[in-house]
Copies of this chain bind each other. A is one copy, B any other.
Amino acid sequence: MLWHVANPIHKSFGSDNHAGAHPSVLAAVAAANSGDAVPYGADDISQRAEQMLCEATGAARAILVFNGTAANVAGLSLMLRHPYEAVICAQTSHLNIDECGASERILGCKLLPVDTPDGKLNPDLIATRLGGRGDEHRAQPRIVQLAQVTEVGTCYSLAELRAIQDFCRANDLLIYIDGARLANAAAQLGCSLADLGACADVLSFGGTKNGALGVEAVLVMTGSLADGAMYQRKQLMQLGSKMRFLSAQVIGLLDDDVWLANARQANAMARRLAAAVSAIPGVEIAYAMEGNGVFASIGQEQAELLQQDWNFHVWEATADGRCVVRWMTAFDTTEADVDGLAAAVEASVIHVKHASAR
């Protein structure tokens, strides 16, 4: 069997999910394949994976699901008590934009999106959505949804998270953190997963982008919210029968802190890339680089030229023939990969300049 990859020449900067699985993950999966096991998470591997997750994060319960959208939907579902409750989130959140309306369909709940300058909510922004409380004509805010790191690569400081948490507690709101890139946030902040977990009622911990084949954990910090979680996972089509193979992936990442090494490598490569490209004339960092994604403003023509050889997304078109591009790094991005891209960006500036000079 011979498979083609996305682009055989260059490492992809398209997304951290273009990467494959970390060898530790595959090894753990293979090791788990020894004879029979009771299904649905009652096996020893799954018990151990949950225990490791709870120890690492301080969670009362950890529930594995198949992907990030499922983690968000399941996490919110545990927190919603009534069908008229709503979720405050950033307009740019994955939840609002990139999940094909899963929350509306599956949960039937209203999202209350808020425009933000940098993908991050704060108490003042959250407060703008609390006006209709107690009015039967309005969906009632129950949850504040954050992403850590955000979809534009920014990262809440622990102080920022705690300020939001204080505000939410004072205003009878719960906090859900979409942690598809929680590992990158911990690496960025130099804090533990438990430090981040302590700022939420429920949060997800993304394995997939960190090096798994495909697994995410829903971490229930406020134990009372775990009531019924096992039914919800089943009903939300997230209960794997051979659960040990999901659980083994988690163990593969948590053992020996592979997850942290992976996140640090990705973040370091993003920092290296940001440093390199920000020195190039005409390239401007668009959002604070606080994880493993570099968002840069470059010329549209330049972006198209680069995309001929390199795999990355144009995030948004902006004025004056410019656009914001997104370069994501992964656990397996190397210095050579970064230096190659940086050189290509520099070359593209010159190329475009020359072309327009002619």
- Choose from B44, B86, B242, B245 the contact partner of A101 (Cβ within 8 Å): B86
Is there an interface contact between B12 and A208, defined as CB atoms closer than 8 Å? no
Question: Is B237's CB under 8 angstroms from A73's CB?
Answer: yes
The A interface is mostly helix, strand or loop, or mixed, namely loop
- A148 adjacent to chain B (CB < 8 Å): no
Number of interface residues of A (CB under 8 A): 89
Asked if A281 is at the interface (CB within 8 A of a chain B CB), the reply is no
Q: Give residues in A with beta carbon < 8 Å to B.
A: 1, 3-7, 11-12, 14-15, 17-21, 26, 28-40, 43-45, 65-70, 73, 77, 81-84, 86, 97-102, 104-106, 108-111, 132, 136-140, 208-209, 213-214, 227-228, 230-242, 244-246, 251, 255, 311
Closest to A28 in B: B1
Interface-centre pick from A18, A32, A111, A227 (highest chain B CB count, 10 A)? A18
Contact assessment for A138 and B214 in the assembled complex, using a CB-CB cutoff below 8 Å: no
Please state if A44 and B100 are interface contacts (CB–CB under 8 Å).
no
Q: Considering the chains assembled together, what is the distance between the CA atoms of A245 and B207 in angstroms? A: 14
B101 adjacent to A70 (CB under 8 Å) = no
A255 contact set on B, CB distance < 8 A: 1
Residues of B contacting A97 with CB < 8 Å?
Answer: 132, 137-138
- List residues of chain B with CB within 8 A of the CB of A38: 6, 12, 14, 18, 311
B237 and A67 within 8 A (CB)? yes
Residues in B neighbouring A228, C-beta threshold 8 A:
82, 84
Pick from B1, B11, B83: contact of A105, CB below 8 A. Answer: B83
Pair B3/A34 contact, Cβ less than 8 Å: yes
Contact for A106 among B34, B40, B106, CB less than 8 A = B106
A241 contacts B3, CB within 8 Å?
no
Assembled-state Cα–Cα distance A85/B106 (Å):
13
B104 near A242: Cβ-Cβ < 8 Å: no
What 20 new A-B contacts, CB under 8 Å, besides A12-B36, A20-B35? A3-B34, A3-B44, A4-B43, A4-B44, A6-B38, A12-B38, A15-B241, A18-B38, A21-B245, A29-B29, A38-B311, A77-B83, A84-B100, A104-B139, A105-B235, A136-B230, A136-B231, A213-B242, A214-B240, A237-B238
* Chain B residue at minimum C-beta to C-beta distance from A33: B20
- Asked whether B235 lies within 8 Å of A102 as measured between CB atoms, the reply is yes
Residue of B nearest to A86 (CB): B101
Q: List, in ascending order, chain B residues with CB within 8 A of A26's CB.
A: 29-30, 33
Find the B residue at minimum CB distance from A39: B17
What's the minimum C-beta distance from A237 to chain B, rounded to whole angstroms? 4
For residue A7, give the distance in angstroms from its CB to the closest CB of chain B.
7
Chain B proximity of A262: nearest CB distance (Å): 14
